[in-house]
Amino acid sequence: MSLSGIPWNHFDPLNHFPPRPDSAADFYPQYLSSSAFFNHGLPQLSSVLYAESPAFFNMNALSAEEMERFQKLSNEFEAELPGPLVSPKQSSSAVALEYANSDPTFATKTSALAVTHPFMRIMKGDGNCGWRAIAFGYFESLLNLRNSLQVHQEHERIKSLNVLLQQVGQEEHIYGIFVEATEEIFTQISEAIQRGVRDDQFLVDAFNDEYNSSAILCHFRFLTSAWMRLNPHRYQAFLSLPVDQYCSSRIDPTKTEIDEVGLQALVDGVIDASGFAVEILYLDRSEGTAVTPHQLTQNRPTAATIRLLYRPGHYDLLYQPEPTVNMEPVVNYQYAMTSNYPAWDQGALPFDVGSISMSIPNLMVDPSFGGLGASPMPADPSSPFRVSSPQEMYPQPPMNTPPPPMPVASPPPPRMSAPPPPMSSLPPRSTDGPQIRLNPLVMKPNLSHSLPVTTPFKNSPYNQAHFQNQDFEPIHWAPHESRK
């Protein structure tokens, strides 16, 4: 075990290794434990060096040891993340600003997003953002509906899910404290509604309390995990490992980000029965000018929709425009001509549709479009300004729905509170002759004063990265902390 053949003294400048309080030095030379320094600092020299006594030095083992140390440091590393766990509601134009200088696809999508979903809440990216977005969105929707009975029902429903936890063998004294935290939120919401509190600050505060927040998310994780284990057939096909293993490695640990399967299970097992809808808007580099929506709940009339903005690895909450009083239908419609539409019920119209090349602007303003300018129902999952396939835009009317009487050339009365009728109540249309259709792209709210949504050119002052833009802010270069 002699190392005398190795010219250690040649490395004098490096012989300042901090002595490790290592009692193994009884058995191995002290400098051996530091040899990993050579592996990193002087790879070539060290390989020459060790090549002389390969039998004794096991470089792989030593560097594995060092790797283990790095792994440990890396496991324990926690980035200093700025910002609260759940931010106040803020303008989503911040996201547009963030991407103004980037890839044009992102720039286009984010500036369109700032119009269709003007508000958002930023979730802290601490490994729980997806869970937190759903949980907060759920309680916030419940608060906004201001229906004490519903809060009570939901409280009872969530409490009843304890059965799932028992079924998978969780102990009451373990999950009890998490359930308590959730119940406390229900109670606070009930009280707020009864006292007529409009401010949702208490909810934001509750979710920004680290312990409280962790407990609620933990409760939701427990429920999701139990739900998946009890319904493995629904999820197994989407997983590369058995449901049990998936749950114990991806759902149960406190710091694991939710993935698509987990998110679907959370929605199925915990949120769905509330009747709320959950929609994800994907901000990615896919084609198109708007974020791609994806509905996680069944398409059904709903009182509230929880909307998530997904950027790779991160979820935030998004909000559509608040209802406004200006319900006048937007006049600046564009029309498209086609003869390829489903049958029109001639009987509903007092004149011959087919023979008239119509230019009556409001003819096609059917009720569902009428409510559009500022829909009081941002939750309507079938909102036509969701950019999606044409089939979704103009669904075939179900045969068993009698066509409602259609006022001709007169805009529908402003709607203050009632939800717009679902799209499926569109009257059937005749096959013959050209007809006028509204272009859904110009139907976006708040755009009536401007042109249809377009990409701001990179060198146009409408681009927020352009120096003439009112929101323009030059990028200030600052040295990274570590380089200061």
Partner 1 sequence: MSQKRIAKELAELVESPPEGIKVELADESDLYLWNVYMEGPEGSPFQNGKFLVKLKLPTEYPFKPPAVSFGTKIYHPNVTNDDKGSMCLGMLRPDEWKPSSKIAAVLQFARQLLVEPMPDDAVEGRIAEQYKNDRARYDELAKEWTRKYATA
Q: Is 210 in the site for partner 1 (CB under 8 A)?
A: yes
- Secondary structure element (H or E) that encloses residue 305, with its range: strand 305-311
Q: Is 214 in the site for partner 1 (CB under 8 A)?
A: yes
One-character DSSP codes across 398-423 = PTTSPPPP--SSSPPPP-SSSPPPPG
165 and 223 in contact (C-beta within 8 Å)? yes
Of positions 10, 69, 285, 458, contacts partner 1 by CB under 8 A: 69
Determine the size of the site formed for partner 1 (CB under 8 A).
41
Q: Is 138 in the site for partner 1 (CB under 8 A)?
A: no
Give φ, ψ of 47 to 5 degrees.
-70, -35
Taking the least distance from each CB to partner 1, the nearer of 26 and 287 is: 26
Q: Is 55 in the site for partner 1 (CB under 8 A)?
A: no
Q: 148-160 vs 172-195: helix axis angle to the nearest 10?
A: 180
Taking the least distance from each CB to partner 1, the nearer of 150 and 256 is: 256
Of positions 8, 19, 24, 413, contacts partner 1 by CB under 8 A: 24
Contact pattern for partner 1 over residues 142 through 161, marking x by CB under 8 A = --------------------
Q: Is 62 in the site for partner 1 (CB under 8 A)?
A: yes
Shortest separation between residue 181's beta carbon and partner 1, angstroms: 7
Of positions 13, 18, 27, 199, contacts partner 1 by CB under 8 A: 27
Shortest separation between residue 246's beta carbon and partner 1, angstroms: 14
Taking the least distance from each CB to partner 1, the nearer of 81 and 177 is: 177
423 and 382 in contact (C-beta within 8 Å)? yes
231 and 103 in contact (C-beta within 8 Å)? no
Quick one: tokens of 163?
A: 């059965």
Distance, CA of 403 to CA of 413 (rounded, Å): 18
Query: Could you tell me which of 285, 292, 229, 238 has the C-alpha nearest to residue 260?
Result: 238
Q: Is 39 in the site for partner 1 (CB under 8 A)?
A: no
Q: Is 126 in the site for partner 1 (CB under 8 A)?
A: no
3-class state of residue 123 by DSSP:
strand
> Strand 277-282 relative to strand 292-295: parallel, antiparallel, unpaired?
antiparallel
Phi-psi category of residue 83: left, alpha or beta, with phi > 0 → left and psi -120 to 50 → alpha: left
Non-local CB neighbours of 322 within 8 Å, separated by 6+ positions = 119, 378
Shortest separation between residue 20's beta carbon and partner 1, angstroms: 7
Site for partner 1 in 217-276 (CB under 8 A): 218, 222, 248-249, 252-256
Q: Is 68 in the site for partner 1 (CB under 8 A)?
A: yes
- Which residues in this chain contact partner 1 in the complex, by CB under 8 A? 20-24, 27-28, 33, 58, 61-62, 64-66, 68-69, 72, 75-76, 78, 170, 173-175, 177-178, 180-181, 210-211, 214-215, 218, 222, 248-249, 252-256
